[in-house]
Structure 1
């Protein structure tokens, strides 16, 4: 079957879009795995590991779809373990170091609400694979949002120390939030034909819903003096290299190995 240039370009666009979202989920999953056996309670060990597993599942679906469409035949494993730093397209927020528990919860609060809005909108995509992914993932991300919201309120309303640390966590992650809503020509093309979701359209709802949680927690919405950017172009933070080295270590040590 002959594929027209327009169809080929559309497939490449969708592949690039799925790669971005898959990288977001993969890298945040890896960050959250570091809390296993290190969380404040056994229950949180389980909760954060389950969230990480959900995100890993999202990553596998999206990366596999990207490899299917981009013409390279790469699997989700190939994309996860076979690329270098500059080839990852995740936002910087998800690679931000875990910090203390409050920083991790602040990062989860910011990302989970964005992800829930995005997945809900993607469920209406004209692309059947993205629509199916969005419908399934939205149900899982709703729990991620509830978990982060409840902890934000608990810490914000707790002791003076927990309040201080939760506010400090929000201040730490807030400069990275804006990148979630950046757009470019690729996203605008896919949004125009009903395939993708321009994240800029989600920002007002995100700001309102996150602010409501912070108000309930007695916390202040930060006003950052700078904004992180560059992850979608392959420019990453200093901590990304060590994170990726750990993620890929077994595959690189035993290339082609099977278990």
Structure 2
């Protein structure tokens, strides 16, 4: 099974307003393990970066001015992702931008025609309803180390997302997804890899929570809606008893 974890950075948030892709980052997993292969390119978007996008990525118009255009990296990109299952956080955003670039370059296929796409944001919303499910929030919830993520970068975020995806689907971690550094001084130092220990965490209810639980059960019993008997020997002090 071949997975490609993918992220992009863009000049702004709206593909409908002509914003463009400025960085593509991909990390390959084979049988759920890092293969050591990655794809990363900075791109000249032929337009200016929005101020907000430049602030969160550290990318500038000057830095991007001598980078290749999407059409120039299209062949290697398609070769890298074709036939893989793409793992993307908020997939509609990245796929929309990449499909627009494919159309602009005259490519006959769309990304979701070449690959199966799995959206980790949709997965997280299903698993953690009502909670924040940004990449940073998931890192905190799943004990994935992202302290080196001072700026958004497509390759760095793809590496982090790989750990998050594996943690959400199987708990596997400590991937050591160290990728070669790009030729940009502002790039976060990721050469030491991404490490996560994720020890088993057991959280017990405190006294206040147990009291609130008892009050809720009492209210449910009065309404005739409680399935638990008033005295249940299977539980003692909030702990299951064998």
Instruction: Output the TM-score relative to the length of structure 1.
Output: 0.29
Return the structure number with greater strand share: 2
RCO higher in structure (CA 8 A, sep ≥6) = 1
Q: Pick the structure with more helix per residue.
A: 1
